[in-house]
Amino acid sequence: MPAPDILNRLARLYHIQSTYRDGLGRMRQAPPDAILRVLQVLGAPLYRLEDALDAWRQRRQALWQRVIEPVVVVWGNRPVILKVRVPTQLAETPASYRIIFESGATTEGALHDDYVTKPVTREIEGSGNVTRRLVGSEPVPFGYHRLYLRIGELEVDCYLFCAPPQAYAPAENRKRWGLFCPVYALRSEHGWGAGNFSDLSQLVEFTAGLGGHAVATLPMLASFLDEPFNPSPYSPVSRLFWNEFYLDIERIAGLDDCAEAKMLLSSGFVAELSRLQAAPLVQYRETMACKRAILTALLRSLLKSSPQRRSAFESYCATHAAAQDYAEFRAKTERERNSWLDWPEENRQGQLRTQDYDEFAKLYHLYVQWQCAEQIAEVAASARNRGTALYLDFPLGVNRDGYDVWRHRDLFALGINGGAPPDGLYIKGQTWGFPPLQPDAIRRQGYRYYIECLRHHMGLADMLRIDHVMGLHRVFWVPDGFSATDGVYVHDRAAEFYAILNLESHRHRVQIVGENLGTVPESVNATMARRKIYGMHVGQFGVSGDPSRALDATPADVVASLNTHDTATFMGFWQEQDIDDRVALGLLDNEQADNERRYRAAQRDALIAYLHAQGYIGEDASEASVLHGWLAFLAGQPAEFLLINLEDLWLEPAPQNVPGTWQERPNWQRKARYSIADLRSQADLHDLLKTIGDIRARIV
């Protein structure tokens, strides 16, 4: 068999899709060296192309010798159904099972063969094997359980997930709307140079006061804001801990009694805060340095205080072992001031001793996590009391240098970057810099890490956006040293992820939204619909140049919006600033840009004509009039939820993020033009949002 053929056959056994159609509709075949590298990261026993045949034989044999999958899913309180592979001599041997439920209770019983699916017999490396479909008789309760299977003398076990067939949805059938803004962008008098949890609470109050049903924002997870440095909300240190950057310092108990903090606040410190507050962009390093100085003073004061005052903090430390571990990692990072990948071997392997880090630095990170937990819980409670949801964002990946990868390194594909193949916006494809999860490793762990990350968010959210929901099905892997055009897709067990999402969404009463934009196979959208996970509809992506149908009807099972944090704002789209930016970044040549501008002009003309014909705008075709008309159109559509970018309401032209850039653009830094206090006095803005609310309320 030719070497490339056997390599591709081996790749399929590891669920690698090396031939695919990119976002431009072109078929692509990954180069052999890239496939080889991905196979090595997945644990295939080969070092060169010539080893592929032996590796294929070993993998094929191992898969047939896998009696049962590491995870089995049961939908909807039904009996267990197991597909097993056993030696032919066990083809008719009676089978039994025992289940240890999540609660600790147990049950056991016999399994019978279901011959609806014909058994398959194969001879692998001289040994006969047969598949059997075994069915239990008793329904299984929802939860994460352990199943123990016995067939003759053969004993194996697996994780057993029993989940509702669909995600949680509230019983009330109303069409809702809400506002979006990144927390860092929020302005207030007490913001200290960037928005904070209190500002988020103010936005919730503002939205609720106008009848809005949710406030959406970007991830608020821990980040590196010194050395290493990466403020991107989509490259967090951990998906298990919050970002102390968003603490409202002035709301922390003990500030008024802390002499050291008072001394700092009476010095040149105030002038520095004023400078940071006035800056148009968030200065992460400087702002965090100011906050840390006060937080450090508050911690010192707390540690010197009475036992009664310290008791709540000490209780938090005693009951949060994972936070202790995280704090040690952060303290060690601060001592080394570089990635854990460059630490001494023992520390790289997850072992830290007290002499490896500064104890006070550890206490600092415990202290700020304690404060974050309290402040964000207050935001969530306030939102729920007002009937307004927190709509949080669950990022696809984590920072390669961060805590999660260090502590759970076996779960991550080091040496690989998650990314995306070429498409119409990014013709060279994208590499995002974070390592994907190892499919086999996360299954062997029973997805414990993933479940913990979801629970961290769902304990506070009422709606949760799953970033790049296609990642539940397949992730685009780009090996280090290769370009995004050389990547491959690695497939995951989507059913297992959906079972977890559905189960956790019901337990926490959280609606799930999947970001299904870009190159997404129709099968993904079909699965989301079946599991009642809402997709996204972005208005900008659906504008045609035909005045008779400039805007498509919006589906019902989506969150609709004009744009996202990764696209141009309404005004940026209208003024073609996104096209200009792609030219400046080398993503479009002049001829392509001219074609894009001609089409954009046709889109503008068609949109104006369509909105006018439908009665959404009159003779006034100004930008503000078109924005209002377009939002009114979306509000009248049957979408489950309408999300409005707060900054569109004052025609902000600049985006929050330009994907594929790092130093080239000031991503994740731009502050909102107006404070929430300013918004309270803008009658036109209030009238627009109340009109949107009235339209949504009339939809049946």
Where do we find the tokens 């993933």? Answer: 450
In DSSP terms, which residues pair with 230 in a beta bridge? 224
Report whether 73 contacts 499 (CB < 8 A).
yes
Contacts of 357 (CB under 8 A, 6+ apart): 328, 331, 332, 334, 335
Considering 131, 163, 195, which residue would you say is the last residue of a domain?
163
| Residue 43 backbone phi and psi in degrees, to 5 | 95, 10
Residues of the chain with pLDDT under 50: 1-2
Instruction: Looking at the structure, tell me whether residues 151 and 116 fall in a common domain.
Output: yes
Q: Is position 118 within any domain?
A: yes
Instruction: Looking at the structure, tell me whether residues 9 and 37 fall in a common domain.
Output: yes
Please tell me the predicted confidence (pLDDT) of residue 144. 98
Instruction: Looking at the structure, tell me whether residues 159 and 87 fall in a common domain.
Output: yes
Please tell me the predicted confidence (pLDDT) of residue 630. 98
User: What's the CA gap between 252 and 367, in Å, rounded?
Assistant: 11
> Long-range pairs for 119-125 at CB < 8 Å and ≥24 separation?
119/91, 121/88, 121/91, 122/64, 124/60, 124/61, 124/64, 124/65, 125/57, 125/61
Q: Is position 30 within any domain?
A: yes
Q: What is the DSSP string of 495-545?
A: HHHHHHHHHHHHHHT-EEEE---SS--HHHHHHHHHTT-BEEEEGGGGB-S
Residue 161's closest CA among 496, 542, 390, 621?
Answer: 496
User: What's the CA gap between 575 and 568, in Å, rounded?
Assistant: 10
Instruction: Looking at the structure, tell me whether residues 84 and 155 fall in a common domain.
Output: yes
Q: What is the DSSP string of 546-578?
A: -GGGSBPPPPSSEEEES--TTS--HHHHHTTHH
Instruction: Looking at the structure, tell me whether residues 90 and 47 fall in a common domain.
Output: no
Q: What is the DSSP string of 442-469?
A: HHHTTTHHHHHHHHHHHTT-SEEEETTG
Cβ atoms within 10 Å of 608's Cβ, excluding its own: 17
At 143, which CATH number? 2.60.40
Instruction: Looking at the structure, tell me whether residues 158 and 86 fall in a common domain.
Output: yes
Q: Is position 509 within any domain?
A: no
Longest CA pairwise span in the chain (Å): 83
Please tell me the predicted confidence (pLDDT) of residue 22. 86
Residue 71's closest CA among 497, 443, 500?
Answer: 443
Is the pTM higher than 0.75? The answer reads yes
Q: Is position 129 within any domain?
A: yes
Instruction: Looking at the structure, tell me whether residues 43 and 102 fall in a common domain.
Output: no
In DSSP terms, which residues pair with 163 in a beta bridge? 75
Q: Is position 111 within any domain?
A: yes
Q: How many domains does the chain have?
A: 2
Q: Is position 112 within any domain?
A: yes
Q: How far is CA 301 from CA 178, 253, 255, 294, 317, in A?
A: 41, 11, 9, 11, 17
Report whether 247 contacts 197 (CB < 8 A).
yes
User: What's the CA gap between 482 and 126, in Å, rounded?
Assistant: 40
User: Residue 220 half-sphere exposure, CB side, CA atoms within 13 Å?
Assistant: 31
Structure tokens at 48: 């060169």
In DSSP terms, which residues pair with 157 in a beta bridge? 148
Structure tokens at 355: 């002499």
Structure tokens at 603: 């889109």
Q: Write out the residue range of the structural domain in which residue 90 sits.
A: 77-163
In DSSP terms, which residues pair with 543 in a beta bridge? 551
Q: Is position 27 within any domain?
A: yes
Considering 136, 163, 190, which residue would you say is the last residue of a domain?
163
Report whether 698 contacts 212 (CB < 8 A).
no
Instruction: Looking at the structure, tell me whether residues 87 and 144 fall in a common domain.
Output: yes
Please tell me the predicted confidence (pLDDT) of residue 661. 78
Residue 186's closest CA among 229, 216, 230?
Answer: 216
Dihedral sign computed on CA atoms, order 317, 318, 322, 328? positive
Cα of first residue to Cα of last residue in the chain, in angstroms, is 61
Please tell me the predicted confidence (pLDDT) of residue 3. 60
Q: How far is CA 56 from CA 49, 62, 175, 483, 497, in A?
A: 11, 10, 53, 26, 27
Q: Is position 587 within any domain?
A: no
Instruction: Looking at the structure, tell me whether residues 145 and 112 fall in a common domain.
Output: yes
Instruction: Looking at the structure, tell me whether residues 86 and 37 fall in a common domain.
Output: no
Considering 40, 64, 88, which residue would you say is the last residue of a domain?
64
